[in-house]
């Protein structure tokens, strides 16, 4: 990472980015955006090996090095070991970490179980915490950037998805706490998503119905998210920020 000639700007060419959940959906778009900017990419996947290999093939068009790395992020020991495994695979530690992997389980306060609670907290909060801890340990005093992917609805919670949204609220707090803890060498920011894609199991019509209430009245798609992540990695005077990519959804009642 190096500064540009006149701006506080991080040159991505030659950096190494670890993108969790980088094989599919939002994670894939982020991986391709950072790869297009010249970063080498470690594509983490859980079960989506074929999609990971497809993403790596697309990254080859940008002339960057890309490798798949499998890990079960529902196991915190596995999550914590992932940055070391990436460093072994590439011969150097990652200096960009994007915590994109997440589920979207459905429950409510009334029907949440200890199992559903632990599962959501581990994947959406615990894994990013211990991934970031290991990432920072490997970097030492070298500069780096972490971007967490959170949800705009932490401010106006869903009636369902209770365990998930509480975990994402914790990720918001972790973003700010880690920005303080890891400064000045490592910056930590987040992108909070609104109606970007149809939720798993739903179709485009479902997403369009949700988006019809937004001020911008359209589904966002993954490109705005990927561009926002790239901005947060490149601008080296931004830390502790949570950028909403939601078409103005935060301006309307839940």
Nearest to 62 by CA among 32, 20, 27, 97: 32
158 assigned to active site: no
> CA-CA distance, 23 to 17, in Å (whole number)?
14
| Cis peptide bond upstream of 184, omega within 30 | yes
Of the CA atoms within 13 Å of residue 243, those in its CB half-sphere come to 19
Q: Residue 186: enclosing H or E segment and its boundaries?
A: strand 186-193
**CA-CA-CA-CA torsion sign (165, 202, 231, 69):** positive
SS3 17: strand
Q: Which among 172, 223, 216 is positioned nearest to 197, based on CA atoms?
A: 223
Identify the active-site residue in 164, 167, 182, 219. 164
Which SS3 state, helix, strand or coil, does residue 193 take? strand
Place of tokens 């199991």: 201
d(CA 92, CA 29): 24
Q: Give the Cβ contact number of residue 26 at 10 Å.
A: 25
Write out the catalytic residue numbers.
164
């Amino acid at each position: 990472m190096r500064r540009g000639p006149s701006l506080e700007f991080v040159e991505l060419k030659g950096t190494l980015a670890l993108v969790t959940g980088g094989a599919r959906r939002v994670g894939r778009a982020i991986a391709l955006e950072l790869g297009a900017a010249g970063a080498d990419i470690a594509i983490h996947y859980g079960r989506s090996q074929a999609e990971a290999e497809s993403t790596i093939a697309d990254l080859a068009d940008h002339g960057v090095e890309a490798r798949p790395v499998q890990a079960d992020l529902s196991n915190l020991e596995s999550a914590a070991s992932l940055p070391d495994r990436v460093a072994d695979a590439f011969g150097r530690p990652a200096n960009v970490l994007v915590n994109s992997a997440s589920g979207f389980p459905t429950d409510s306060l009334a029907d949440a179980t200890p199992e559903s609670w632990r599962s959501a907290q581990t994947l959406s909060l615990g894994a990013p915490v211990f991934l970031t801890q290991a990432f920072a340990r490997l970097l030492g005093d070298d500069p780096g950037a972490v971007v967490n992917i959170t949800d705009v609805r932490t401010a106006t919670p869903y009636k369902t998805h209770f365990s998930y949204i509480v975990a994402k609220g914790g990720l918001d707090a972790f973003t700010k706490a880690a920005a303080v803890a890891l400064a000045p060498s490592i910056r930590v920011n987040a992108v909070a998503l609104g109606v970007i894609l149809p939720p798993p199991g739903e179709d485009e019509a479902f997403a369009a119905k949700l988006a019809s209430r937004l001020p911008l009245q359209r589904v966002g798609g993954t490109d705005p998210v990927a561009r926002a992540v790239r901005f947060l990695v490149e601008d080296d005077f931004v830390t502790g920020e949570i950028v909403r990519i939601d078409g103005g959804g935060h301006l309307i009642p839940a």
